Amino acid sequence: MQFTIRDTRIEVTHASRTALLSDVANLMRRGEGFALATINLDHLVKLRRDAAFLGAYARQDMVVADGNPIVWLSGLAKKPVDLMPGSDLVLPLCRLAAEAGLPVSMLGATEAALEGASAHLAREIPGYQKGLLIAPPMGFDPEGQAARAALEDLNALGPGLCLIALGAPKQERFAALGRSLAPRMGFASVGAGVEFLSGDQARAPEWVRKIAMEWAWRALSSPRRLVPRYAACFAILPGEVRKAWRLRAQ
């Protein structure tokens, strides 16, 4: 499944979780880095408006589907992909890091949330190694001086996994810069996944996620912030359906 924006092609690189985790495990065993992004409709809206975000997305090594609309569009295009939200990938990725003997670092959220998430991972995953926990200041520039200093520290650790919890587009831009400044680090943009672990944010109940209504649950929990975002997502959906239908015919 692919999306073309301003002549830039963004491709869902892994159709299944099994394939994704297999490739990540191989990279970790070899001590090689990567950048993983999880695309959804909100990202497609932002990619159209933000050239820097689009450039950063094009530099991601791995892109998977985060959101049922992306999964439905892929089915319409006859290029089906699995649903892989970043928050669902946190534990599997951290388990792979533990198996490879690599530390897990985190950047984003607050110091308390990072410590809480790390404590949760230590309880859940045998062999978990705590890396750097970096709570960036307000107004954090993902390509600025503070970001570069953080990446210098991460690079000094050597191979490892870094969970980025900044939200789009900052986390993907930080990961893209990290691929050049900390090339042995695996960067995974997981959004609220870290705060779900720490308990600082509550995720929709499992039954809500199973009926593909997590977006509605989130919108009701924060309507002023999220209703305009989801309205913009719905506005681009007809055009994406037409594009998927054309891909189906290819």
Residue 211: exposure state from Cβ atoms within 10 A (0-12, 13-18, ≥19): exposed
Lookup: tokens for 204 = 């929709």
Lookup: tokens for 140 = 């954090």
| Domain range list for the chain | 2-249
pLDDT at residue number 250? 67
Residues 51-64 have pLDDT tens digits of 999 999 999 999 99
- Maximum distance among all alpha carbons in the chain? 51
Average pLDDT on 112-139 reads 96
DSSP 23-49: HHHHHHHHT--EEEEEE-HHHHHHHHH
Distance CA 245, CA 67 (A): 19
Q: What is the three-class DSSP state of 133? A: strand
Q: What is the three-class DSSP state of 94? A: helix
Residues 14-47 have pLDDT tens digits of 999 999 999 999 999 999 999 999 999 999 999 9
Distance CA 43, CA 58 (A): 13
Distances (CA, A) of 116 to 73, 165, 196: 36, 14, 10
pLDDT at residue number 215? 61
pLDDT above 70 for 227: yes
Phi and psi dihedrals of 185, rounded to 5? -95, 140
Find which of 71-75, 86-90, 148-152, 243-247 is predicted with most confidence, using mean pLDDT: 148-152
3-state helix, strand, coil in the chain (%, to 5): 55, 15, 30
Q: Which of 83-87, 145-149, 211-215, 239-243 has the lowest mean pLDDT?
A: 211-215
